[in-house]
Structure 1
Amino acid sequence: MSSPPDTRRPRLDQQAVLQAAETLVDREGYDALTMTLLAAELDTRVSSLYNHVANLEDLRASIQVRAMRLLGEHVRRAAMGHAGADGLRVLSHELRAFARSHPQRYAAITRPPIDREAFFGAAVDTIEALAVMVRSAGLPEERLLPTGMAVFAALHGFVSLEVAGYFGDVDDDLDAVYEMVIRGAVTAAVLEATHD
């Protein structure tokens, strides 16, 4: 005689809560995330969630930090063996690939950070990879930050419009358009490196 199936819910822990929150964000969007929706996703009570996260702001901060850390892992792997203008192109394509694969998490990391210290700690890999590329293009140390910010702003402009569906059914080759954006950003970085 077989025993009845185990109908107990899996025990909740912080990792399970955060993974479910990411699933919800991926499906519904970062702004749609609420404790009520997350509790429904996990088939549990809202009060049970507070054993694992302090509140909604804490949960959203964790989503931002985890997404930034994931982007950093992708960027670090992509950057290996590359430098200078070639490296900037590789990182540019990796940024776009990440945003297309995780559009809602990408949206989360481009919002003002809730937990700035944790967020920028998670961003170390991304920031350092970009710094290495612009540094290896010959940029002096004091120009690294503004140049890196300018490159990211140019790329983010295209990427955020693309993942938001702004371009719709445009017949033009968006890959070619993105290449133009990259060339502009890389050219600007290289020109900055040689600027007197």
Structure 2
Amino acid sequence: MPPSTDPARTRTSGRATKLSRDLIVNAALSFLDREGWDALTINALAGQLGTKGPSLYNHVASLDDLRRTVRMRVIDDIISMINTAAEGRVREDAVLVMAGAYRSYAHHHPGRYAAFTRLPFGDDDPGYAAATRLAAAPVIAVLASYGLDGEQAYFAALEFWSAMHGFVLLEMTGVMDDVDADAVFADMVQRLAAGLRKQ
């Protein structure tokens, strides 16, 4: 029997695998960490999957559709990761593990992290805007253990994200190469926790 020539199938470990939206999105996530955000195109991803670009269009509407879906998945993954890290913890203990988990994610998934921190696609995407706001929810939940709520908790969460992202960005651009980055990071997080206690 001749091998399948169905363009909607690709080969993995010698076996034909039917393409699906989930498979394509998962492949795109791995592609990001290897090649980076700017390299993610339909044709480049199709090549990695051993098929042709048009086959992917059976499952994703466009490159923007794929990139938006990937970014939403990354946000969900980060929220889940932080929730898991902080589960059952409060105050300084929770802040320390959340910060460490955030930094670890950026180190292990630099391409995905870059996707998470890209500018939004535009004001016409309320779903993505809502998802980015939800990313602050795990931090706000921990801040409640300090007695912070409402606007005060939201602003404190923004301070946390700003500090984490700023530090990771400095690491990624080589600014931290000549210092003990672990020690600087630990000191920064302790200062954040101390500031929360004062609030």
Whether 1:23 aligns to 2:30 is yes
Secondary structure, in 3 states, of the residue corresponding to 1:85? helix
What is the letter of the counterpart of residue 127 of structure 2? Answer: E
| Structure of greater relative contact order (alpha carbons < 8 Å, 6+ residues apart) | 1
Task: Specify which of 119, 130, 136 is matched with residue 120 of structure 1.
Answer: 130
Q: % of aligned pairs identical? A: 34
Task: Specify which of 184, 187, 191 is matched with residue 177 of structure 1.
Answer: 184
For residue 120 of structure 1, report the CA deviation from its aligned partner: 3.5
RMSD of the alignment, in Å? Answer: 2.3
More strand by share: 2
Which range moves more in the overlay, 115-124 or 56-65?
115-124
Structure 1 partner of 2:88: 81
Cα–Cα, structure 1 residues 164 and 59, in superposed 2: closer, same or farther, change >3 Å?
farther
What is the letter of the counterpart of residue 154 of structure 1? Answer: A
Q: Give, in whole Å, the separation in 2 of the partners of 1:122 and 1:11.
A: 32
What is the letter of the counterpart of residue 151 of structure 2? Answer: E
Whether 1:138 aligns to 2:150 is no
TM alignment of 1:31-180, pairs within 5 A: 31-114=38-121, 115-118=125-128, 120-121=130-131, 124=134, 126-168=135-177, 170=178, 172-180=179-187
Q: Give the TM-score normalised by the residue count of structure 1.
A: 0.85
For residue 118 of structure 1, report the CA deviation from its aligned partner: 4.4
What is the letter of the counterpart of residue 42 of structure 2? Answer: M
Cα–Cα, structure 1 residues 33 and 175, in superposed 2: closer, same or farther, change >3 Å?
same
Q: Give, in whole Å, the separation in 1 of the partners of 2:29 and 2:68.
A: 12
Task: Specify which of 155, 175, 195 is matched with residue 188 of structure 1.
Answer: 195
Cα–Cα, structure 1 residues 80 and 188, in superposed 2: closer, same or farther, change >3 Å?
same
Residues 60-109 of structure 1, C-alpha deviations (whole Å, 9 max, x = no match): 11111111111122111111111122211111111011111111101111
For residue 133 of structure 1, report the CA deviation from its aligned partner: 1.4
Residues 42-63 of structure 1, C-alpha deviations (whole Å, 9 max, x = no match): 1212111111111111111111
For residue 127 of structure 1, report the CA deviation from its aligned partner: 2.4
Cα–Cα, structure 1 residues 166 and 33, in superposed 2: closer, same or farther, change >3 Å?
farther
Which range moves more in the overlay, 5-14 or 83-92?
5-14
CA contact (8 A) 2:37 2:111 kept: yes
Cα–Cα, structure 1 residues 140 and 67, in superposed 2: closer, same or farther, change >3 Å?
closer
Cα–Cα, structure 1 residues 111 and 143, in superposed 2: closer, same or farther, change >3 Å?
same
Secondary structure, in 3 states, of the residue corresponding to 1:10? strand
CA contact (8 A) 1:24 1:33 kept: yes
CA contact (8 A) 1:151 1:185 kept: yes
What is the letter of the counterpart of residue 39 of structure 2? Answer: A
CA contact (8 A) 2:32 2:112 kept: yes
Gaps of 5+ in 1: none
